[in-house]
Homo-oligomer: A and B are copies of this chain.
Amino acid sequence: MEFQRRQAIYLQIGDYICENILMKKWKEGDKIPSIRELAVSIEVNPNTVMRTYSYLQDRGIIFNKRGIGYFVAENAYKNTRSLKKEGFINHDLPHLFKTMDLLNLSFNDLKLFYNKNKGVT
């Protein structure tokens, strides 16, 4: 796994887990990798993964069974979605529109990028 400089690693790991939940790869009740497992597989310090798990647990996305491991929480999908959506509306969109303004990009330009992106992917 590769990390960007712009964001804390533990948050990027969090995003990765949230994506799996949003894509329904990991369903509610599923066991997720142990801290050590994940740490080894993505070559990161266990402390960092631990921090991710605490972060997600605080937000009701995963929960811990002592001695057994971490599991996807009951309302994980809903919680994850509302968390992401909030960030999307409050941060991503305003930033998007402001940048488009500064770069003199119209909504049509955005549509072109969108189609291009969809076509490529």
Q: Which A residues contact B (CB, under 8 angstroms)?
A: 6, 9, 18-19, 22-23, 45, 58, 66-67, 81, 84-85, 88-89, 91-97, 99-100, 102-103, 105, 107, 110-111, 113-114, 117-118
Contacts and interface: CB of A to CB of B under 8 A. Distances in A.
Given A9-B66, A58-B58, A66-B9, A99 B107 contact: no
Helix, strand, loop or mixed for chain A's interface?
helix
Copies in the complex: 4
Contacts of A107: 111, 114
A78 to B, nearest CB: 12
Contacts of A23: 102
10 contacts: A18-B102, A22-B102, A22-B103, A23-B102, A88-B100, A88-B103, A93-B117, A97-B117, A107-B114, A110-B110
A27 to B, nearest CB: 15
A51 to B, nearest CB: 10
A9 B67 CA distance: 11
